[in-house]
Amino acid sequence: MSVQAYRLEDGGRIDRTAPLTFRFDGRAYAGYRGDTLASALLANGVRTLARSFKYHRPRGVLTAGSEEPVALVQVGGDPATTVPNVRATELELYDGLEAFPQNCWPSLGRDVGVVNDALARFLPAGFYYKTFMGPPLNWMRFEGAIRAAAGMGRSPTAPDPDRYEHVNRHCEVLVIGGGAAGLVAAREAARTGARVILAEETGALGGGLLAGAPDAVTIDGRPAWAWLAEIEAELRAMPEVTLLTRTTGTGWYDRNWVTLAEAVLDHLPPAARDPRLPRQRLWRVRAKAVVLATGAIERPLLFHANDRPGVMLAGAVRAYLHRWGVAPGRRAVVATNNTDAWRTAFDLAAAGVEIAAIVDSRARPDERLLARAQALGLPVRAGSAVVAAKGRSEVRGAVIARADGGGREDVACDLLVVSGGWAPNLALYAQSKGAIAWDDDLQAFRPQPNGAAARFAGRAAGAFDLAASLRAAAVAGAEAAGIAPEHVPEVADDGVAYALAPAPKPQGGRVFVDLQNDVTTKDIRLAAAEGYRSIEHAKRYTTLGMGTDQGKTSGLNGVATLADTLDKTIPEVGVTTFRPPYKPVSFGAVAGRQVGELFHPRRTTAMHEAHVEAGAVFELVGDWLRPRVYPQAGESFDDALQRECRAARSSCAVLDASTLGKIDVKGPDAREFLNRVYTNAWMKLAPGRCRYGLMCNEDGMVFDDGVTACLADDHFHMTTTTGGAAGVLAWLEEYLQTEWPELKVYLTSVTEQWAVASICGPESPKLAAELFDDIDADPQAFPFMSHTSGHIADVPVRVFRISFTGEVSYEINVPARYGLWLWRLIEARGAKYGLTPYGTEGMHLLRAEKGFIIAGQDTDGTVTPLDLGMRWAVKNSADFIGRRSLFRSDTARPDRRQLVGLATADPATVLTEGAQVIAEPAERSGRTPMIGHVTSSYFSPNLGRSIALALIAGGHGKTGATVHVARRGAAPVPAEITATDFLAGFGERP
């Protein structure tokens, strides 16, 4: 195990009493609790963490946070829990952590992919658009190689064992960002008693203050870190304040609906992860006001080989010094265009790092800074810039030159600290469609207010001096809660005001703009030369900003490079669209608990238990699990089906019909409403009667069907198909709410309220008579298509004399809690009549024997009531949905596909449902014209032959004709067109 040679003697917010061991790239290292993987590796002198996407160049650590473009690793080797593309700069170290470098083979040190770097001149931006176009260089052959080279980390290959949760919250003020500004804003807002949520991305509150010495500044007279501890304690004591750490604002949607992604367990060693907790939570917060306190992102400088490990942003270096007690080098060059990076130079010097040069592109840096540098003996090169990094795989030096190109000097260093200035971190705001505007003084885009709902605090507001930043924060927090600020913190700092010059322009060489996707200034210039001049085109052509960092550190440099190429200003070029999420979020967290059993929960009926006991085979119908058949011991599926169907016509059978959609339709206009939504007439249906109805879409096509019963003049019980129930209700509501708001009708889904057992067959009247307390079951007295209410063993029931099988039937509805009891009662009482439970398959078969349709099986959204031969169900008297369409010339054409019966020439041949019908006895060699298709097909036990329903062009006029049903790999099956009621056609029964 290596020693932590770059760890400072003391300091940092790490726990030196808690040493940890971890592995990276197959080697063991030591770190401390409080480290990130990046800080621990830097402490160990490991600088190359990854290989780049395209050229496989070694890459190190650029930043200290979530904006990191290149220090990406694969965490964990377990196929179920491994995570690709994790930013080492955010990954909190735990004991036993194992991380792997990505995108290199065979190893990080020796990666064969570097040949791409040698061939770079032949692989400019968009090279793949210009070649591999066709034989012999066929794209599909190259694609495999290109895909394998791309992609960085690896997907897990086994299911995720962890859980994720959603949390829904409302609050008055949501503060995003837990730096000093966020804390001040939260405190101001919370004074009013408002509900305040503060979300901080990292594991600690403090933001930029943690990247400075504990006493670098004083706030309200207290040293920075002490002040932080106090304000945190103050906020924690406020009952309406929720402080969330490890929680990132990821999406800002309409009307301040904001998603926050919270990492709950990932920072803990696996053994310490509480199994009761989710791995991550997605907070879905609706905030009255949002305060953006997301700080700022530092802009890298552009020069040759600026991608070498050892080139680091100035703010990040300061964070490694103070937050983690790591000096990421021994001899540093600090290159900047602004005042702030000087602080890094001073802090490095204080930590014992030799400063080889402070290189400031400004000719006249601030006097105070110069004096301080002089006092510390630090060499300064004003009016100069770093034009190249030296070193083959890691930084070994810098080439410095004056703006006029003169005064070139090579300076040895192992750390090249860069700063091109700071830009407010406004991605989240911009993706909420908030306006941003270029600020020439800041050389950055700034958020622009868009009304009352968003406020900006701290550096996110473009206030880079702490005093101004906290003043903005206090105002933002107070105004977000609707008051004036009460307490603006007093700040004492080094008194150097933030100032910068435009970033120096690169002077040639290989200058990387997007370090993750290997986009160079040359690529951007090439894009422009080839006409990809819109920033969106240049982005897409070069892949600039399209990586996992979404261009957080590269965006501005990309725009600047394009602007320079096109001789435009940065605001003229503009930015690409910011999109959520702010940083990648686990799919698991996005799905939340909506997975596995809870994904579209499966529904079972009140009688389910009895079906399971009876050994039913189930099928999914819509969301419902329904018994399909009830095979007895040793019985095949088909035999069971045949037995059940024979019983239904010869003795008595029972079906669990609970899943049919049931909608309670009530109100003075209920009747009128039904008359408009059904194709048939409803104005005269008397209470106590039922009627079958068809519903059409606006285009006149059948959409659902079912029986509706009139309970009272203003009260109906509607049934729908099982699968269509939710859709029908939504559709009815849409009509009521948007088209006919004048109708007084109230719809309530009562599907779950009623359990339904449907008994049918010649013996069913006897069974019914035995069951009912107070209903005359005699089919004469209780006629077909009527219904009544009564009791079974004192339990209230509604019974409908309706039938989907063509047999005498009683549909018995009981309150759902009596469902199982009713089923068992029917089974017990029915045994002597040969009662047989039957499932959906039997129901389908029985109704097909009778020629009844199933909406959704015999119809597919292209079938009119007329096509079904159901003209009788279409009223002439009044309008209904779809009526106009129904009588268009083509909907009335006689050669439309119409529902017919099909009887195969060989009665034993059962056709395949979905098979296509052709007119000719054999398929053609080319295209074979189709005249229809088989919608339903069974072997009918009651008729002793196969039967089928089909939609066939002009079928109603072709009874008796022979058609052919195509099959893959076999000769078509001849079949005769028949009527749809097979019982009437073939059966001896009426």
Partner 1 sequence: MGRTARMRGYSVWSLLREGVGGHRGWRPAWRDAAPKAAYDAVIIGGGGHGLATAYYLAKEHGMTNVAVLEKGWLGGGNAARNTTIVRSNYLNDESAAIYDHAMRLWRGLGRELNFNIMMSHRGVLNLAHDDGEMRQLKRRVEANRLNGVDAEWLDAHEVKEFCPPIHIGRDVRYPVLGATLQRSGGVNRHDAVVWGYARAACALGVDIVQHCEVTGIDVRGGVVQGVRTTRGDIKTSKVASVVAGHTSVIADMVGLRLPIESHPLQALVSEPVKPIMPCVVMSNAVHAYCSQSDKGELVIGAGIDPHISYTQRGGFHIIEDEIAALLELFPIFSRMKLMRHWAGTVDVCPDASPIISKTPVKGFYVNGGWGTGGWKATPGSGHVFADLVANDEPNAIAEPYALTRFATGKLVAEHGAAAVAH
Restricted to residues 366-425, the positions that interact with partner 1 (CB under 8 A) are none
| Residues in 227-256 at the binding interface with partner 1, rule: CB under 8 A | 251, 253-254
Nearest-angstrom CA–CA distance, 637 and 644: 11
Answer yes or no whether residue 861 interacts with partner 1 by CB under 8 A.
yes
Nearest-angstrom CA–CA distance, 867 and 860: 12
Answer yes or no whether residue 686 interacts with partner 1 by CB under 8 A.
no
Do residues 493 and 466 lie in contact, with contact meaning Cβ atoms separated by under 8 Å?
A: yes
Nearest-angstrom CA–CA distance, 608 and 601: 15
| Residues in 102-121 at the binding interface with partner 1, rule: CB under 8 A | 121
Q: Least distance in Å: CB of 894 to partner 1?
A: 13
Buried b (16+ CB within 10 A) or exposed e, 574-603: bbbebebbbbbbbebbbebeeeeeeeeeeb
Do residues 500 and 421 lie in contact, with contact meaning Cβ atoms separated by under 8 Å?
A: yes
Q: Least distance in Å: CB of 65 to partner 1?
A: 17
CB closer to partner 1 out of 143 and 441 = 143
Which residues face 789 on adjacent strands? 798
Pairing of strands 444-447, 257-263: unpaired
- Residue from 587, 637, 746, 784 touching partner 1 (CB under 8 A): that is 587
Nearest-angstrom CA–CA distance, 123 and 151: 17
Q: Least distance in Å: CB of 779 to partner 1?
A: 34
| Residues in 333-372 at the binding interface with partner 1, rule: CB under 8 A | none
Residue 454, token pair as written in the block: 């968003």
CB closer to partner 1 out of 153 and 315 = 153
CB closer to partner 1 out of 775 and 975 = 975
Q: Least distance in Å: CB of 927 to partner 1?
A: 5
Nearest-angstrom CA–CA distance, 626 and 629: 9
Nearest-angstrom CA–CA distance, 286 and 148: 42
CB closer to partner 1 out of 539 and 662 = 539
Pairing of strands 652-656, 835-837: parallel
Site mask for partner 1 (CB under 8 A), range 282-321, x = bound: --x-------------------------------------
Which residues face 573 on adjacent strands? none
Answer yes or no whether residue 592 interacts with partner 1 by CB under 8 A.
yes
Answer yes or no whether residue 82 interacts with partner 1 by CB under 8 A.
yes
CB closer to partner 1 out of 529 and 831 = 529
Q: Which of 136, 174, 162 is nearest to 251 (CA)?
A: 174
Stretch near partner 1 under the rule CB under 8 A, chosen from 16-24, 81-89, 216-224, 826-834? 81-89
Q: Which of 715, 726, 729, 748 is nearest to 677 (CA)?
A: 729
* Cis bond upstream, residue 136 (ω within 30): yes
Do residues 45 and 54 lie in contact, with contact meaning Cβ atoms separated by under 8 Å?
A: no
CB closer to partner 1 out of 429 and 782 = 429
Q: What is the three-class DSSP state of 799?
A: strand
Q: Least distance in Å: CB of 269 to partner 1?
A: 18
Answer yes or no whether residue 134 interacts with partner 1 by CB under 8 A.
yes
| Separation of CA 101 from chain center | 28
Answer yes or no whether residue 157 interacts with partner 1 by CB under 8 A.
yes
- Residue from 596, 668, 894, 921 touching partner 1 (CB under 8 A): that is 596
- Residue from 242, 294, 344, 548 touching partner 1 (CB under 8 A): that is 548
Nearest-angstrom CA–CA distance, 42 and 399: 24
> Which distant-in-sequence residues (6+ apart) come within 8 Å of 986 by Cβ?
903, 943, 945, 947
Residue 790, token pair as written in the block: 């009564």
CB closer to partner 1 out of 170 and 433 = 433
- Residue from 33, 257, 821, 850 touching partner 1 (CB under 8 A): that is 257
| Residues in 888-927 at the binding interface with partner 1, rule: CB under 8 A | 888-892, 912-916, 918, 923, 926-927
Residue 642, token pair as written in the block: 């045949």
Answer yes or no whether residue 534 interacts with partner 1 by CB under 8 A.
yes
Stretch near partner 1 under the rule CB under 8 A, chosen from 170-178, 347-355, 794-802, 854-862? 854-862
| Residues in 424-443 at the binding interface with partner 1, rule: CB under 8 A | 433
CB closer to partner 1 out of 532 and 982 = 532
Answer yes or no whether residue 491 interacts with partner 1 by CB under 8 A.
no
DSSP string for residues in 387-431: EEEE-SSS--EEEEEETTS-S-EEEE-SEEEEE--EEE--HHHHH
CB closer to partner 1 out of 166 and 191 = 166
| Separation of CA 750 from chain center | 32
> Which distant-in-sequence residues (6+ apart) come within 8 Å of 460 by Cβ?
177, 181, 292, 293, 294, 295, 296, 424, 425, 426, 429, 447
Nearest-angstrom CA–CA distance, 113 and 105: 7
CB closer to partner 1 out of 9 and 597 = 597
Which amino acid is present at 749?
S
Q: Least distance in Å: CB of 868 to partner 1?
A: 15
Do residues 656 and 611 lie in contact, with contact meaning Cβ atoms separated by under 8 Å?
A: yes
- Residue from 496, 726, 928, 958 touching partner 1 (CB under 8 A): that is 928
Stretch near partner 1 under the rule CB under 8 A, chosen from 150-158, 224-232, 669-677, 684-692? 150-158
Answer yes or no whether residue 619 interacts with partner 1 by CB under 8 A.
yes
- Residue from 107, 374, 594, 748 touching partner 1 (CB under 8 A): that is 594
| Separation of CA 213 from chain center | 41
Count of Cβ atoms closer than 10 Å to residue 747 Cβ:
18
Stretch near partner 1 under the rule CB under 8 A, chosen from 61-69, 158-166, 337-345, 661-669? 158-166
Q: Least distance in Å: CB of 899 to partner 1?
A: 15
**DSSP code, position 350:** H
CB closer to partner 1 out of 462 and 581 = 581
Nearest-angstrom CA–CA distance, 53 and 117: 11
Q: Least distance in Å: CB of 571 to partner 1?
A: 16
Q: Least distance in Å: CB of 200 to partner 1?
A: 20
CB closer to partner 1 out of 18 and 971 = 971
Q: Least distance in Å: CB of 464 to partner 1?
A: 29
Answer yes or no whether residue 668 interacts with partner 1 by CB under 8 A.
no
CB closer to partner 1 out of 493 and 619 = 619
| Residues in 939-978 at the binding interface with partner 1, rule: CB under 8 A | 966, 968
Q: What is the three-class DSSP state of 29?
A: strand
> Which distant-in-sequence residues (6+ apart) come within 8 Å of 495 by Cβ?
368
Answer yes or no whether residue 680 interacts with partner 1 by CB under 8 A.
no
* Cα distances (Å, whole numbers) of residue 80 to 155, 158, 159, 160, 597: 9, 4, 5, 5, 19
Answer yes or no whether residue 85 interacts with partner 1 by CB under 8 A.
yes
**DSSP code, position 151:** -
- Residue from 131, 632, 748, 959 touching partner 1 (CB under 8 A): that is 131
CB closer to partner 1 out of 587 and 746 = 587
* Cα distances (Å, whole numbers) of residue 266 to 39, 270, 604, 731, 852: 17, 8, 37, 45, 58
| Residues in 7-36 at the binding interface with partner 1, rule: CB under 8 A | none
Q: Least distance in Å: CB of 580 to partner 1?
A: 6
| Residues in 697-736 at the binding interface with partner 1, rule: CB under 8 A | 697-701, 723
Q: Least distance in Å: CB of 118 to partner 1?
A: 12
Size of the site for partner 1 (CB under 8 A): 117
| Residues in 753-812 at the binding interface with partner 1, rule: CB under 8 A | none
Residue 210, token pair as written in the block: 């943690």
Q: Least distance in Å: CB of 754 to partner 1?
A: 24
